Amino acid sequence: MKRILLIVGGGIAAYKACELVRLLRKAGHRVRCVLTESGAHFVTPMTLAALSEDKVYTTLWDLKDEAEMGHIQLSREADLVVVAPATADLLARMAAGIADDLATTLLLATDKPVLAAPAMNVRMWQHAATRRNVAQLRADGVTVLEPDEGAMACGEYGPGRLPEPPAIFAAIEAALAARDAPAPLAGKHVLITAGPTHEPIDPVRYIANRSSGKQGFAIAGALARLGARVTLVAGPVALPTPLGVTRVDVETAREMAAAVDAALPADAAVMVAAVADWRAKGAAPQKIKKDGSGGTPTLRLAENPDILATLAKGDHRPRLVIGFAAETEQVIDHATAKRARKGADWIVANDVSGDVMGGDANTIHIVTADGVESWEKLPKDAVADRLATRIADALD
Ligand code: CTP
């Protein structure tokens, strides 16, 4: 038996929350419902009270409840907080940390894991503001389910439908199981590099590449969720730091090499950064002018340290060293050669032909001593989760 605090937001899909309560009760869980003001336009407190066999909470200003049980206690006595349906407005207020009604106050006050099942019009789901809010919530550790795709009550078609109650129920069981499982990477230190490096040419120009840093950041978050202590050495990217991750910001390859060295020892290293192979020899102290005054317009290059190879062949080699390779052709052959050349245990190779780095889904190949394993077209978060689990197995 687990205790679920179910927050029911407004929207046509709120009726599905009733079925979810029924499934949770049938599985033996206790469900306590909180109905938002707009949610109450779609389902009644009476329905939820009957199905949950418990009192339903609707307002922060119910003084009797505050005397019986404060909102802090209400938010913490649960094993899991579930928001279904989570409207665009509710997700936005959660992401911003607004606490202007009972539901959002509980969400801000809770110290328990939170799972949100969104439901909204397809345009609202795809709007940049919602994308931003969902990314922020995920970075904050909230599990935000993907909505279903299909015909919507408003007549449009696309992603935005509340997942069916059995799917939400399965996600709840998975979240509860994850909470109970011992963290497989507890006590392990994992070092990650991510993003591009910027190699100055003069005070305003630099050599760089198109790396977005998203994959490395996702891996850092996934490893932290498995209980690892994670040090993320990040090149210049404007991404939020994943929950529970220690971040060290750097600009150049040489700074990245020094930060990696300073973070050792580590049990595993995942080198996701797209390190510039070359830097400008003797960056000009002043802006180089078109006519050549203030510095030479001829760019002379010096080779950067290979951070991965140095680590893999060094005295403080982590037990597991993983490199990445973004390739546009002969992906597996190049990755296999790279693995041997750099002394890495695994190379995670992705095919970036026809795609730009920073795309949202990747087919990747993991080249190890035992051969090649391929994962077809997976979103970066899914790659991160699978890789983190594989790392945990390897370090076990
Ligand atoms: N890498 C590194 N330091 C460098 C260059 C690369 O740590 N100076 C790491 C990357 O983080 C990645 C792996 O090595 O994990 C492969 O990077 P890549 O740029 O593909 O390798 P290169 O050796 O530069 O090979 P090439 O440019 O010939 O493909």
- Residues 315-340: pLDDT tens digits? 999 999 999 998 889 999 999 999 99
Tokens of 1: 């038996």
Section 35-48 average pLDDT = 96
Distance 275 CA to ligand 1 centre (A): 6
Check residue 394 and give left, alpha or beta (phi > 0: left; psi -120 to 50: alpha): alpha
**The pLDDT of residue 3:** 97
Q: Cis peptide leading into 297, omega within 30 of 0?
A: no
Task: Scan for tokens 């003084």, then name that residue.
Answer: 63
**The pLDDT of residue 291:** 80
Least Cα distance to 384 among 244, 223, 255, 261 occurs for: 223
Least Cα distance to 153 among 11, 40, 327, 10 occurs for: 11
**Catalytic site residue 154?**
yes
Residue 343 Cβ contacting ligand 1 at under 6 Å: no
Residue 39 Cβ contacting ligand 1 at under 6 Å: no
Instruction: Identify which of 313, 342, 346, 348 to mutate to test ligand 1's pocket (most ligand atoms within 8 A of the CB).
Output: 342
Average pLDDT, the chain: 92
Residue 277 Cβ contacting ligand 1 at under 6 Å: yes
Q: Which atom of ligand 1 is nearest to the CA of 311?
A: 7
Section 299-306 average pLDDT = 93
Give the model's confidence band at 376: pLDDT under 50 very low, under 70 low, under 90 confident, else very high: confident
Residue 190 Cβ contacting ligand 1 at under 6 Å: no
Burial class (CB in 10 A: 0-12, 13-18, 19+), 210: exposed
Is the CB of residue 74 less than 8 Å from the CB of residue 112?
Answer: no
Least Cα distance to 179 among 111, 233, 240, 230 occurs for: 111
Check pLDDT > 60 for residue 31.
yes
Section 340-364 average pLDDT = 81
Check pLDDT > 60 for residue 372.
yes
Q: CA 352, CA 282: separation in Å to the nearest integer? A: 32
Task: Scan for tokens 């210049």, then name that residue.
Answer: 236
CA dist 54 → 57, 107, 113, 374 (Å): 10, 20, 22, 49
| Measured torsion, CA atoms of residues 93, 96, 102, 108, in degrees rounded to the nearest 10 | 140
- Least confident segment among 71-75, 227-231, 247-251, 254-258: 71-75
Distance 386 CA to ligand 1 centre (A): 22
Section 29-34 average pLDDT = 97
**The pLDDT of residue 360:** 64
Give the model's confidence band at 69: pLDDT under 50 very low, under 70 low, under 90 confident, else very high: low
Check pLDDT > 70 for residue 355.
no
Give the model's confidence band at 160: pLDDT under 50 very low, under 70 low, under 90 confident, else very high: very high
- Least confident segment among 217-231, 292-306, 322-336: 292-306
Q: DSSP letter for 189, please.
A: E
What percent of the chain clears pLDDT 90, i.e. is strictly above it? 77
Give the model's confidence band at 158: pLDDT under 50 very low, under 70 low, under 90 confident, else very high: confident
Section 39-61 average pLDDT = 94
**The pLDDT of residue 359:** 60
**Closest CA to ligand 1's atom 4:** 306
Residue 268 Cβ contacting ligand 1 at under 6 Å: no
Section 100-123 average pLDDT = 95
**Closest CA to ligand 1's atom 20:** 325
Q: DSSP letter for 40, please.
A: G
Check pLDDT > 80 for residue 240.
yes
Decide which of 289 and 312 is more confident.
312
- Beta-carbon contacts of residue 327 (< 8 Å; ≥ 6 apart): 334, 335, 349, 350, 351, 352, 353
Sign of the alpha-carbon torsion through 205, 209, 214, 215 = negative
